[in-house]
Structures are given as structure tokens and as C-alpha cells.
């Protein structure tokens, strides 16, 4: 599956765009989208637990849950209501 991102002119709302053109709400603005991505990437790159989660699975899952909650605080509308794709809710799948 290939993803693209699009921005709605005038509002700055960011969408995930599927290859068929279907758009799913991602973030309220480009600024919040970039802050969310940066926070996620920085946390994962600096985490000792997430760099080698095999023997510390429970700790890794707890850390990912905490990270998901932090991401939700950055842009709450990105995590309200229906979502075709909520990456913060699927962070624990990253372990497998």
C-alpha cells in the first residue's frame, strides 16, 4: 500500500491519501502534523527499550501506550471520532 499526504487549501488540514484517492483525516494542521511526527521519531530514536524490545516486551508496550497518549495531547482532533487509520493506536503492532 502506498500512502500520500495532502493538505486542504485554506485550512491546512492534513490527510492521508490512499492510491484510489480516498482521503483520511490525519492532523488539524501542517504544524501539528510535523510536531506529532517529530515527537514520535525523537522518542523512538532515543528509547533504549524500543531499540531492543525483545526481552522487555511489557515495558515496550507500556512505553508505546504512553507515547500514544502524548501524541494525542499534541493534536486531540486527530484522535477523536472515526479513523480509518490511527497510527498512535497501532504503535504496539510495531513490535512485531
| pLDDT at residue 89 in the model | 56
pLDDT recorded at residue 31: 95
pLDDT at 88: 54
Number of domains in the chain: 1
Tell me, what's the pLDDT at 33? 92
Residue 5 within a domain:
no
Please give the pLDDT value at position 78. Answer: 85
Within-domain flag for 47 = yes
User: Does the pTM of the predicted model rise above 0.85?
Assistant: no
Let me know if residue 20 belongs to a domain.
no
| Pairing of the two strands 23-27 and 4-7 | unpaired
The reply to whether 89 falls in a domain is yes
Residues (pLDDT < 50) of the chain are: 82, 84-85
Amino acid at each position: 500500500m502506498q500512502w500520500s499526504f495532502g493538505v486542504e487549501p485554506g485550512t491546512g488540514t492534513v490527510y492521508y491519501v490512499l492510491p484510489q484517492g480516498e482521503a483520511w483525516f490525519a492532523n488539524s494542521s501542517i504544524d501539528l502534523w510535523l510536531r506529532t511526527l517529530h515527537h514520535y521519531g525523537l522518542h523512538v530514536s532515543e528509547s533504549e527499550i524500543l531499540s531492543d524490545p525483545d526481552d522487555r516486551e511489557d515495558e515496550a508496550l507500556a512505553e508505546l501506550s504512553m507515547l500514544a497518549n502524548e501524541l494525542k495531547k499534541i493534536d486531540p482532533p486527530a484522535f477523536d471520532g472515526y479513523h480509518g487509520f490511527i497510527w498512535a493506536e497501532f504503535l504496539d503492532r510495531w513490535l512485531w
